[in-house]
Structure 1
Amino acid sequence: MPRPLPSQGLAIGDLAARTGLAVSAIRFYETHGILAPVRNAGGHRRYARSDIRRLSFAMAAQKLGLPLAEIAGHLKDLPPDRAISQADWTRISRDLRAGIDARIAALTRLRDKLDGCIGCGCLSLDRCALYNPDDARADEGPGPVLLERD
């Protein structure tokens, strides 16, 4: 069901100017379910002012490393014709917190292990979290399994 046209809405160029995004980026976000513009009688996209906040949230979440599918998932149940409310943001941020905390812990482990690795100058391969001669750790899984361990 199409949402009501918000007093003519914003043209895509206006939305681009307000968010600093290229028009192509806005269309990209649209294809990923971040936005759902309405079409006017001429078939042109029109965006609600609340779409500025949706895009701002998506841009900030991407900087945290969240994939677009996850971002869209957080926005999908919100009414498309209003800005994200404090209650909405509280729920979304609560849902994001555990994932962000896990990313911080993983990045901290990576940083700490790389500090030792970079500092060693590759003179102590027996302790290196990247060294895997003859792919001996293949049965432990893909990627740098020693580096990713707790």
Structure 2
Amino acid sequence: MPQIPVKIHELTVGQLSARSGAAVSALHFYEAKGLISSRRTSGNQRRYTRDALRRVAFVRAAQRVGIPLATIRDALAGLPEERTPTREDWARLSENWRAELDARIQQLGRLRDHLTDCIGCGCLSLETCVLSNPDDVIGEQISGSRLMGEKKRG
């Protein structure tokens, strides 16, 4: 992995990509979503401060555990500008995200447990299907896959 000399305070998008392991297109996407920022040179080239390395690492770690980009952006927005997320920031944020992740894990477990039943019957009945209609909330209105098409139009 190429080392960045300490005296270099700004990185090109290529240098940031090489150091972070993120594709250039991903870095452009992160910037468009407000996760990282750059300045433009007189030649209209992007330059990132060194703290972008830690921010990219933070974003990628949060993405790996399933945190949505909007949630990551909100977390980063709560940090002072130009400050990199610290170990303490990660600990605080990850503790806040734990309940959300636990709920997703439970939901995925329920989906896994009922997936075979759904594929086995093939009906996709919204009246009784625990995947499409948990707790039969819509069963009073209409049954069958007809409701799926109506929901898209409505």
**Structures share fold, TM-score greater than 0.5:** yes
1:90 aligns with 2:97: no
Q: Aligned residue pairs: how many?
A: 132
Inter-CA distance 114–81: structure 2 relative to 1 (3 Å threshold): same
User: TM-score with structure 2 length normalisation?
Assistant: 0.68
Taking every aligned residue pair, what percent have the same amino acid on both sides?
Answer: 44
Inter-CA distance 14–139: structure 2 relative to 1 (3 Å threshold): farther
The aligned residue for residue 121 of structure 2 is: 122
The aligned residue for residue 27 of structure 1 is: 28
Letter in 2 for 1:9: E
Inter-CA distance 42–79: structure 2 relative to 1 (3 Å threshold): farther
* Cα distance in 2 between the residues matched to 1:123 and 1:37: 51
- Do the aligned partners of 1:122 and 1:128 also contact (CA within 8 Å) in 2? no
C-alpha RMSD over aligned residues: 3.2
5+ residue gaps, structure 1: 1-5, 144-150
The aligned residue for residue 109 of structure 2 is: 108
The aligned residue for residue 50 of structure 1 is: 51
5+ residue gaps, structure 2: 1-6, 149-154
* Cα distance in 2 between the residues matched to 1:83 and 1:117: 46
Bigger mean CA deviation after superposition, 63-72 or 24-33: 63-72
Structure scoring higher RCO (CA < 8 A, sep ≥ 6) equals 1
- Do the aligned partners of 1:51 and 1:83 also contact (CA within 8 Å) in 2? yes
Deviation, structure 1 residue 45: 2.0
Deviations 1:42-91 (A, max 9, x none): 44322122212211222232233332211101111213323211221122
